[in-house]
Structure 1
Amino acid sequence: MSPRRVVVLGYGMAGSRLADEIRRRDPAGERVALTVLGAESHPAYNRVLLSAVVAGTMRAETVRLHDEDWAERHHVDLRTSITATRIDRGLRRVELSDGSTVDYDALVIATGASPWLPPVEGLEQGDDVVAFRSLDDCARILEAAKLGAPVAVLGGGLLGLEAARGLAGRGNLVTVVHPASHVMERQLDAGAAGVLVKSLTKLGVTFRLGVGAARYLPGDGLKLDDGSHIPADLVVVCTGVRAETALAEEAGLSVDRGILVDDALRTSDGRIHALGDCVRHPGTISGLVQPAWEQAAVLADLLTGTDSAARYRGTAPVTRLKARDIDLAAIGDHEADGEVLSFADPERGRYAKLVVRDDRVAGAILLGLPDSAAMITQLHDRGIPVPEDRLSVLFGRALPAGAAPASSPADLPASALICRCNSVTKGRLVEAWRAGATDVPALAEATRATTGCGSCRDTVCAVADWLVAQ
């Protein structure tokens, strides 16, 4: 029997992860003949870590998810610098930008999302205006951001703040312009946002909140809608993204602010699936890596026949700000009903809010409290009852079974979740170590720990150090 022809449109984080998951289940390609199409010329890379490239703490090559010969080793027909131009559902064929075609038995759309530029007069992508989304955008930003040059960052969301911190650390004069009354309004309450702004201000970032850009004057700067002006040799745009759905719409698939999918990641055509930032699923929050990881695992089970009952039920959100000298985690729904405990120490950059409902963590915001973040994340992920001493939990001092601080690897049980993005436990790291993965890069290769949002790297290093000492 011939292997099933699976074609993946997109070689970003979702598409590349799906390819990895398929080959984990079908290493030799006996069940699935896999073709992956990527618009960019680069091997797949971790988009979540691009702010670290801008900051100079990581090199472009270190954020790659695959090396140059990955496709050959894993029996994947990988085609880069190429896009799909049309899906012929009747013939089950995809037309490509180079004039060729590829036939499929199952098609997966993983086209991601495109940056959105606000309708500001004079604001057009160019050498001095960069919508921050790709590895090439990093290179353009670093080329334009000369030492000491004034930079305006449009958008005070997660990516905008990461970019601003990175550029300020490089010596640029950075101003964040954000139309809402506080930054990261989707993830933080006003109290946490205020503490975060105070911390970033100490690190060299200036903020203009509650105002928007009205006009961009190249060589001069930004005029804001309150009539004021800020200098800017470079504008970095981080104002959100829009799901890339044009191909799906043209093919007649159901689309509503994203490609509509069910729990099997099926579109309105049963032979076509979709995952990642291009989809709309009731349990998905766009812009986070973990939903795409979980969707990829489910879809790989289905496409390889490993588990025909696999379903994606949604992802509980955990958001981390990846900015040097800032430790921030936003977990679940911080506006949920329930018991609420909070603490603020703006001068020291610390803020904590914990919402407990039915003795479980419903939501939390932890800033400048890494032990608290590690403990509460484990309580949330594993559904562990919150200890009665809520205040000790808030400050990371309670030690319920399975929820010890990540800073003490010896105290963690084998079931403790170390890498949330990839569901890697301490026990899995120990197994990989004993199998020969005896340093952090090898552990990452064997388990994928650290290859998601990157926030677990310090904990993985601590576990590795502990294993060396055994």
Structure 2
Amino acid sequence: MLDKLKNVFKGKQPTKYVVLGASAAGINAVKTLRELDKEADIILISKDEKIYSRCMLHHVISNHKTVEEINFVEEKFIDDNKIKWIKNQEVKGIDEKAKLVELEGKIIEYDKLLIATGASSFIPPIKNLRDGNFVYAVRNIEDIYKIKEKASKSKNVAIIGAGLVGIDAVAGLMDYENLNVSLVYTEPFVLNKQLDKYTASTYENKFLKKGVKLYPNSKIQEISLKDNKDVKGIKLENDILVECDMIIVATGVSPSVEFVNNTKIECDRGIVINDKCETTVENIYAAGDVVGKNAIWPLAVKQGITAAYNMAGVEKQINDSFAFKNSMNFMGIATVSLGIVNPIDESYKVVTRCDGDDYKKFIYKDDVIYGVVAQGDISYTGALAYLIKNNVKIPNIEDRIFDIGYGDFLTLKENGEFCYSL
């Protein structure tokens, strides 16, 4: 396709593309824009001064990696792609009529604009939580540096929230010497949106053996503070006090959309986009966590690439919006969940198999698989994801469900390539 586009921009005034945000969506967008338009002016604007994977921040907490080691682009990516990068800048507003982006003391013009500003950590309205000292989120590298500094001096840390970010924080902190780690969560088990009770319990048992204290089904009354507002503990509804001198909040995110409030860009818990990643304002696109949908890395990448194609005048739609896929590997235990992890109603059938450390659960109905949870042996989950995403009917599913593999659905083309035979 790129060969066909060589002359598309020939003789034209260079297009000025402005991309807000330097994470998964924004970086993949600028890379794709440069591939499509060799002559364009591409400006990247970000609050960050480094490019890094937020999914790997817990490795920096645990001291297994540095911020440079969680960089997901080549060392000379910015220079090689001739991108002008404006760092450490927060967007103050957008003038969609004049095609301007307002920064602190600076105005940037654009022809096409991509908003990929991501999301910020959500701090729940718990009494004293926002007023206490040593309360942190896990969102930016600056958060991580503060957590590391405090953790090296602390005795007790409490993490609020047992989703992926909360569990990442536990994994990053539990090997700190002389640091007691507590996990407080309202759900009956950890990772309840990604896992079922059995697979979650595997991780819970490992955490308990490591000395982590778990507080499931817990509602927080308030944060107990010292006279100087340093945190002292988390008071639960049953009057239990979870002692801590630092708190990490991992209770979800809010799309970073404040700067579009005075525009005609439509928002509904995030910026509204169509299948081309277009917003409701011409020449403005959005991708990644800022759209408020399934906040996972692969979808942000796809949206960033799709937005770039359409910004460059090459029509492209999201051809794979299947986002109900989670993979994780805590303490050497690999787990993948696809589709739904629990049946929606009694019309769905559930079958499970446990063989030592290997566990597999299928949720199906009318010869179609709607969900899979696999732990330990996660082979063939790629084929299963394809079957779930495409609602493929599988004859005699009850007799063969645990034996489905790539070989059942692949065939060989005349040119020697494999393809799905569905």
The bucket for the TM-score relative to the shorter chain is 0.7 to 0.9
Aligned mates of 1:20, 1:146 — CA distance in 2: 39
Contact 1:329 1:365 in 2 (8 A): yes
Say whether residues 1:273 and 2:285 are aligned partners: yes
- State the SS of the aligned residue for 1:81: coil
Quickly say closer, same or farther: Cα 1:219–1:272, change in 2 above 3 A: closer
Structure 2 unaligned residues grouped into runs of 5+ = 1-11, 411-415
Say whether residues 1:297 and 2:308 are aligned partners: no
> Which residue, out of 307, 326, 341, partners 2:351?
341
The aligned counterpart of 1:248 is 260
Aligned mates of 1:393, 1:4 — CA distance in 2: 52
- Note the 1:322-401 alignment, pairs <5 A: 322-334=329-341, 335=343, 338-343=348-353, 350-357=358-365, 359-371=367-379, 373=381, 376-377=384-385, 379-380=387-388, 394=402, 398-401=404-407
Aligned mates of 1:291, 1:400 — CA distance in 2: 24
Please report how far the alpha carbon of residue 391 of structure 1 lies from its aligned counterpart in structure 2 after TM superposition. Answer: 7.5
**Counterpart code for 1:246:** E
1:41-68 deviations in whole A, cap 9, x for unaligned?
22x1111111222233322211112356
Aligned mates of 2:162, 2:419 — CA distance in 1: 33
- Note the 1:20-419 alignment, pairs <5 A: 20-26=31-37, 29-30=38-39, 32-42=40-50, 44-66=51-73, 69-97=76-104, 99-124=105-130, 128-146=134-152, 149-171=155-177, 172-213=179-220, 214-217=222-225, 218=230, 220-280=232-292, 284-285=293-294, 287-305=295-313, 307-311=314-318, 314-334=321-341, 335=343, 338-343=348-353, 350-357=358-365, 359-371=367-379, 373=381, 376-377=384-385, 379-380=387-388, 394=402, 398-401=404-407
Please report how far the alpha carbon of residue 330 of structure 1 lies from its aligned counterpart in structure 2 after TM superposition. Answer: 1.3
Q: Structure 1 vs Structure 2: percent identity of aligned residues?
A: 25
Contact 1:8 1:36 in 2 (8 A): yes
Contact 1:331 1:365 in 2 (8 A): yes
Aligned mates of 2:405, 2:147 — CA distance in 1: 44
The aligned counterpart of 2:15 is 4
1:333-385 deviations in whole A, cap 9, x for unaligned?
2335544212357xx66543112345443211122333364664465468776
Contact 2:276 2:306 in 1 (8 A): yes
Please report how far the alpha carbon of residue 221 of structure 1 lies from its aligned counterpart in structure 2 after TM superposition. Answer: 2.1
- State the SS of the aligned residue for 1:117: coil
- State the SS of the aligned residue for 2:278: coil
- State the SS of the aligned residue for 1:65: coil
Quickly say closer, same or farther: Cα 1:73–1:127, change in 2 above 3 A: farther
Quickly say closer, same or farther: Cα 1:379–1:155, change in 2 above 3 A: same
Aligned mates of 1:179, 1:125 — CA distance in 2: 22
Quickly say closer, same or farther: Cα 1:125–1:314, change in 2 above 3 A: farther
Contact 2:61 2:147 in 1 (8 A): yes
Please report how far the alpha carbon of residue 5 of structure 1 lies from its aligned counterpart in structure 2 after TM superposition. Answer: 1.4
- State the SS of the aligned residue for 1:252: coil
Task: Return 292-301 or 214-223, whichever deviates more.
Answer: 214-223
1:5-25 deviations in whole A, cap 9, x for unaligned?
111111122211211222233
The aligned counterpart of 2:4 is none
Larger CA Rg, structure 1 vs 2: 2
Quickly say closer, same or farther: Cα 1:402–1:316, change in 2 above 3 A: farther
- State the SS of the aligned residue for 1:220: strand
**Counterpart code for 1:370:** I
Q: Please give the root-mean-square deviation of Cα atoms over the aligned residues, in Å.
A: 2.9
**Counterpart code for 1:275:** A
Quickly say closer, same or farther: Cα 1:388–1:316, change in 2 above 3 A: farther
**Counterpart code for 2:353:** F
Contact 2:286 2:307 in 1 (8 A): no
Quickly say closer, same or farther: Cα 1:109–1:312, change in 2 above 3 A: farther
Contact 2:160 2:184 in 1 (8 A): yes
Please report how far the alpha carbon of residue 310 of structure 1 lies from its aligned counterpart in structure 2 after TM superposition. Answer: 3.2
- Note the 1:423-442 alignment, pairs <5 A: none
> Which residue, out of 12, 15, 25, partners 1:14?
25
Aligned mates of 2:319, 2:259 — CA distance in 1: 23
Quickly say closer, same or farther: Cα 1:228–1:66, change in 2 above 3 A: same
- Size of the aligned set, in residue pairs, is 395
Contact 1:263 1:313 in 2 (8 A): no
1:209-229 deviations in whole A, cap 9, x for unaligned?
111332132353222222101
Structure 1 unaligned residues grouped into runs of 5+ = 405-412, 418-470
1:27-50 deviations in whole A, cap 9, x for unaligned?
xx32x32111011222x1111111
Contact 2:67 2:141 in 1 (8 A): yes
**Counterpart code for 2:379:** D
- State the SS of the aligned residue for 1:343: strand
Aligned mates of 1:63, 1:108 — CA distance in 2: 24
Aligned mates of 1:269, 1:354 — CA distance in 2: 43
Quickly say closer, same or farther: Cα 1:416–1:128, change in 2 above 3 A: farther
Contact 2:99 2:110 in 1 (8 A): yes
Contact 1:349 1:368 in 2 (8 A): yes
Aligned mates of 2:417, 2:147 — CA distance in 1: 42
Contact 1:265 1:312 in 2 (8 A): no
Structure 1 length normalisation: TM-score? 0.76
Quickly say closer, same or farther: Cα 1:232–1:403, change in 2 above 3 A: farther
Please report how far the alpha carbon of residue 290 of structure 1 lies from its aligned counterpart in structure 2 after TM superposition. Answer: 1.3
Please report how far the alpha carbon of residue 248 of structure 1 lies from its aligned counterpart in structure 2 after TM superposition. Answer: 1.6
